[in-house]
Amino acid sequence: MAPRHTPAEEPIRDPLPGLRDQLTDEFGSGVPVELIDEVAQQEFHRFDEARVREFVPVFAWRRARVRLRRAA
């Protein structure tokens, strides 16, 4: 049987690729992919100093969507 991991032992996955994919699916036809990538990185890194990390991808996604809507 495989060993079970506690939440503190779970490997941390990088949420940035998923954020980029979601934004590309939504805005890829009207916004250059380079801009989507840049905005995703900027908004994700805006929360680098956040003490609680669980909701950072959601906050970054929401902020990026607002910026990309304006660009579209």
Instruction: Kindly state the tokens that stand for 50.
Output: 């956040």
Task: Look at residues 61, 70, 56 and name the one whose alpha carbon lies nearest to residue 25.
Answer: 61
Give the separation between CA 13 and CA 30, rounded to whole angstroms. 29
pLDDT in tens, 38-69: 999 999 999 999 999 899 999 999 999 999 99
Domain boundaries, the chain: 14-71
pTM of the model: 0.78
pLDDT in tens, 20-43: 999 999 998 999 999 999 999 999
